[in-house]
């Protein structure tokens, strides 16, 4: 496992494209979050806004770059035929998958943490000028506040889980374009379906099982009692999606030729 992990780390860091994609995760997350924070307003007490969730909106954009990094970790090897060399060097295929997952997570977590902290820092300076003040019932953003800390930590875990979900699907389908298409469909089609469906019960069920909608519930710090699913329970749903994808990818990796 140690040798496999070192090999995967070497492959990931020596690909310049991966470096730019990881930087893209941070830039997209902070930039989109800053844009939303700057354009949001709370003009009176009880305006109903969630300042933490607003400045973490960029996570929705950053997850796309995370998914691309994860998919290319596998897709590039299948595309070039290098996967045969990898599996020859490390015959235990689950070890290869676990090594890829470990290295991907080790790269994603610090990038996600930097992105989330940067977004919160921007929000702390910008949002008071947009009406999110003590006079309107909002304290300055701080990680010493329990809900804010939960939203921040949960967002970091969310991005890591999206990466693992994408990795599992890429191993299963073995094609980068197809895998990215499936990941984006899973993340973004469910919320669209929930809006289209007229039945409120079905809307709620779709929101409860959708990986993005459920997972991002962890960002909510206002009105959590009105969410279709609790913050940590929602992140648990995304974790189940990631585990299922990795399990399916691992099973197919073991049963098919490279």
Alpha-carbon dihedral 214, 216, 221, 224, rounded to 10 degrees: -10
pLDDT score at 258: 63
In whole angstroms, what separates CA 134 from the centre of its chain?
Answer: 31
Q: How many CA atoms lie within 13 A of 57 on its CB side?
A: 17
pLDDT score at 44: 75
pLDDT score at 120: 94
Provide the domain count of the chain.
Answer: 1
In angstroms, the CA 59 to CA 115 distance is 8
> What's the pLDDT tens digit per position in 38-89?
888 887 776 767 889 999 999 999 999 999 999 998 888 888 877 888 777 7
> What's the pLDDT tens digit per position in 163-185?
999 999 999 998 899 999 999 99
CB 230 within 8 A of CB 217: yes
Containing domain of residue 156, as a range? 2-255
Q: For the full predicted model, state whether its pTM sits above 0.85.
A: yes
Question: Could you list the mean pLDDT of each consecutive 10-residue stretch along the chain, which spans 258 residues?
Answer: 73 80 93 91 77 93 95 85 78 87 95 96 87 79 90 97 96 92 93 83 89 95 88 96 95 80
């Amino acid at each position: 496992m140690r040798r496999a992990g070192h090999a995967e780390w070497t492959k990931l860091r020596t690909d310049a494209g991966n470096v730019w994609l990881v930087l893209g995760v941070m830039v997209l997350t902070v930039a989109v979050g800053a844009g939303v924070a700057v354009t949001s307003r709370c003009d009176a007490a009880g305006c109903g806004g969630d300042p933490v969730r607003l400045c973490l909106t960029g996570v929705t954009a950053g997850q796309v770059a995370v998914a691309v990094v994860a998919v290319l970790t596998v897709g590039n090897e299948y595309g070039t035929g290098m996967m045969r060399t990898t599996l020859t060097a490390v015959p235990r295929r689950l070890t290869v998958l676990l090594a890829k997952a470990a290295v991907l997570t080790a790269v994603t977590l610090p990038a996600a943490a930097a992105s989330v902290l940067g977004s919160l820092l921007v929000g702390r300076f910008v949002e008071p000028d947009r009406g999110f003040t003590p006079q309107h019932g909002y304290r300055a953003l701080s990680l010493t506040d329990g809900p804010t800390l939960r939203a921040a930590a949960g967002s970091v875990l969310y991005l890591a889980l999206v990466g693992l979900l994408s990795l599992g699907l890429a191993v299963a389908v073995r094609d980068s374009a197809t895998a990215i298409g499936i990941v984006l469909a899973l993340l973004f089609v469910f919320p669209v379906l929930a809006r289209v469906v007229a039945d409120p019960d079905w809307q709620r069920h779709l929101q409860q099982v959708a990986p993005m909608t459920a997972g991002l519930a962890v960002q909510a710090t206002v009105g959590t009692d009105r969410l279709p699913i609790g913050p940590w329970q929602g992140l648990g749903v995304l974790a189940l999606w990631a585990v299922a994808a990795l399990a399916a990818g691992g099973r197919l990796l073991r049963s098919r030729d490279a």
